[in-house]
Homo-oligomer: A and B are copies of this chain.
Amino acid sequence: MRERYISPSVIRRLPKYHRCLKELENSGIVRVSSDVLAKNLGFTASQVRQDFSCFGEFGQQGYGYNVSSLLAEIAGIIGVDRNHSAVIIGVGNLGRALLNNFKFKNYGFEISAAFDTDENLIGTEIGDVGIHDIERIEEFFQTSPFEVAILCVPKAFVRDVARRVAAIGVLGIWNFTNIDLSLEELGVVVENVHFADSLMTLCYEISKDN
């Protein structure tokens, strides 16, 4: 299944299916049609059916999809059913917000450590995550390797930190720094989170009729 080419736009929709199915499952709903899924997500029913057909046969014509097994399938395709380890680099307000509020476990991630340069923070904990000296990240990786680095550092440090974690051998970077990173040549997947793109989309929507 994994050998097939799946277009980036289908991949972008997978998390939305996952979220929607999770909500349906939490509401105790057992079975769902492509029409209902499409309506909840703002897609067309034929798009939903076409997307699912990329991954094999999930449903039966006229009978709908079993919510839990579809959710499990999609979780498996995304990879959130495996354990992934990640660290947070930069424990300012945003790093702290992620540590305190984001349910990493729901998405198959465990935060094994946080890193900062602030001596007042190093050696303390947030939740049960210890904060370490960024200068010792390579050493930490030797004994406790992690797959993903979550970047919440100030702009001036972004490129340097990104190069360091790429050199260590992380698989991916979740980048909150608003500086676009591309580390493909080093074999590192980067997911850039751009708050501004979302604000500008909202801006367009509130401006267009005025």
Task: Give me the interface of A with B, judged by CB distance under 8 Å.
Answer: 2, 11-12, 14-16, 18-19, 23, 77-80, 82, 84, 92-94, 96-98, 100-102, 104, 106-109, 147-148, 171-172, 174, 180, 189, 191, 193-210
Contact across chains for B174 and A206 when beta carbons are under 8 A apart: no
- Cβ–Cβ < 8 Å partners of A206 in chain B: 79, 84, 147-148, 171-172, 189
| A84: B residues at CB distance < 8 A | 203, 206-207
Residues of A contacting B: mostly: helix
Q: How far is the CA of A137 from the CA of B198 in the complex (A)?
A: 24
Q: A201-B191, A202-B189 are in contact. Are A207 and B92 (CB under 8 A)?
A: no
The answer to whether A16 touches B207 (Cβ under 8 A) is no
Given contacts A78-B200, A107-B200, A147-B206, 5 further A-B contacts (CB under 8 A): A14-B201, A14-B204, A93-B101, A104-B199, A108-B203
Integer count of this chain's copies in the complex:
2
| Least Cβ–Cβ distance between A79 and chain B, in angstroms | 3
Q: Within 8 Å CB of A180, what residues of B?
A: 19, 23
Q: Which residues of B contact A14 (CB under 8 A)?
A: 200-201, 204
Q: Could you tell me the distance in whole angstroms from the C-beta of A7 to the nearest C-beta in chain B? A: 12
- Expressed in whole angstroms, the minimum distance between the Cβ of A138 and any Cβ of chain B is 20
- A104 CB contacts on chain B under 8 angstroms: 199
User: Are the C-beta atoms of A203 and B97 separated by less than 8 Å?
Assistant: no
Min CB–CB distance A100 → chain B (angstroms): 6
Which chain B positions have C-beta within 8 A of A12? 197, 201
Contact of A197 among B2, B15, B210 (CB under 8 A): B15
